[in-house]
Structure formats: C-alpha cells, structure tokens
Amino acid sequence: MAEAAVEIVTETLSSLLVEEIKLSGRVKQDVESIKRELESIRSFLKDADARAAVEEGGEGNEGVLTWVKQVREEALSH
C-alpha cells in the first residue's frame, strides 16, 4: 500500500518537474528577448542624444528630442 502511494507521488512530482523545466526554458528565452530589445533601445537613445547634441540649436532638433523623450517614457513604463 505504501509503495503505491510513493509511486503516485513520484509520478506526480516527475510531471511537475518536467513542466517547471519547460516553463524555465520559455522564461529564459523571454528574458533574452527583452534584454536584446532593451539593448536596442539603449543604443537608439545614445545615438539620438549624440545627434541632438550635434544639432543643438538647429531646426530639426525638437523632433529628435520629442522622439527620444517618447521612447524613454515607453521604455520606463514597461
């Protein structure tokens, strides 16, 4: 009788561990994807800041600054 109970628990735990491993793999992929996206955003912001500094006082600067501000706000809201 005890053997049957242990077998059921073992099978249940095995199934749960398999599902946990699958979830962990998906989470790792999601984290890597988010990391790549944040690196792209950071590079964009760095380039845009440099461009805005070069164009400081120029006519096109306001659009760049607005765009950078919007990207920063969006990135911080997530």
Beta-carbon contacts of residue 49 (< 8 Å; ≥ 6 apart): 68
User: For the chain, which residues make up each domain, given as ranges?
Assistant: 2-77
Q: With 0.75 as the threshold, say if the pTM is over it.
A: no
Q: CA–CA separation, 8 vs 18, rounded Å?
A: 16
13-54, pLDDT tens digit by residue? 888 888 888 888 888 888 889 899 888 888 888 887 787 777
Distance linking the first and last C-alpha atoms of the chain: 53
